[in-house]
Amino acid sequence: MIRWTLWVPLALFLLFCGVAAYQLTQPKDEFIASTMIGQPLPEFDLRAASADRPGLATRDLRDGQPRLLNVFASWCIPCIAEAPQLEALRRQGADIAAVAIRDKPEDVARFLANYGNPYSRIGADDLSELQLAIGSSGVPETFVIDGQGVIRYQHIGDIRASDVPVLLQKLAEAK
């Protein structure tokens, strides 16, 4: 064996130690932002999910007004929990559009009758196509969309009372 090759393992190991030592000094940030932030919404045109609200299309989210886009379903229990917070957001001036995932019109109507209807528009996403296209992996989730139809923020999970000011601020920033 050639002499210098005997030093290769040690050199590789020290390289590893160097990288590891550097990483140990770096603050660990577990938060990973969605790569969809800053991306325009895909083109879509969804039928209305319930009788008393219009459906939802990309052009509705490009009219210059920032909105919240709430992804929900009547069969989702955390969606019931966040209903009062959505109502609070609406009262404080947020315009909320919604997408109902894999739902039937009568179920949506019953859900809205029971837990309130803060939405201005509700589109029906029967095959989760839009949901997947905007990088949402579950219900409920809430997006901030600026007036040009670009995704600015994504909130995963139900909205707690403490999240309301955060969402309002993100909405104001999206103007």
Partner 1 sequence: MIAELGLAALWLAAALAALQLVAGALALREGGAELAALVRPAAIVQGFLAGFSFLMLLVLFAQTDLSVKLVAMNSHSEKPMIFKLSGSFGNHEGSMLLWVTVMALAGALIAAVERRLPEKTMLATLAAQSFVGIGFYAFLLLSSNPFERLPVPALEGMGLNPLLQDIGLVFHPPTLYVGYVGLSVAFSFAVGALLTRQVTPDFARAMRPWVLGAWIFLTLGITAGSYWAYYELGWGGWWFWDPVENASLMPWLAATALLHSASVLASRDALRTWTIMLGVVAFSMSMVGTFLVRSGILTSVHAFAVDPERGTFILGLLVIYIGGALLLFALRAGTISEGERFSVTSREGALVFNNVMLSAILGIVLLGTLYPLLTEAFDVRVSVGPPYFNPVGAIFVVPMLLVMAVGPLLRWRKDSLTRIRLPIAIIGGALLAALILVSLLSSVSILPLLGLVLSIGLAIASFMPIRGRKLRLLPIATWGMMIAHFGIAVALFGMASESAFSEETLAAVEVGGSADVGDWNVVLTEVRPTAGPNWTALEGRMMVSYKGGDAKEIDPQSRNFWAPPQETTESALVTRWNGQLYAVIGRQAGEGRWQLRLWWKPFVTFIWYGGMLVALGGLLALIGRLMADLKRRSIKSRVAGRRAETAV
Q: Which residues bind partner 1 (CB under 8 A)?
A: 1, 3, 6-7, 9-10, 13-14, 16-17, 19-24, 26, 28, 30, 32, 74-75, 77, 107
Question: Which residues, in sequence order, are CB contacts of 29 under 8 Å at separation 6+?
Answer: none
Is the Cβ of residue 29 or residue 175 nearer to partner 1 in the bound state? 29
Q: What are the tokens at 48? A: 């209305």
d(CA 128, CA 133): 9
Is the Cβ of residue 9 or residue 93 nearer to partner 1 in the bound state? 9
Q: What is the DSSP string of 116-156?
A: ---EEEEEEETTSHHHHHTT--SSSEEEEE-TTSBEEEEEE
Beta bridge partners of 135: none
State the nearest-atom distance from the C-beta of 31 to partner 1, in Å: 11
State the nearest-atom distance from the C-beta of 148 to partner 1, in Å: 27
Is the Cβ of residue 12 or residue 172 nearer to partner 1 in the bound state? 12
State the nearest-atom distance from the C-beta of 19 to partner 1, in Å: 6
State the nearest-atom distance from the C-beta of 7 to partner 1, in Å: 5
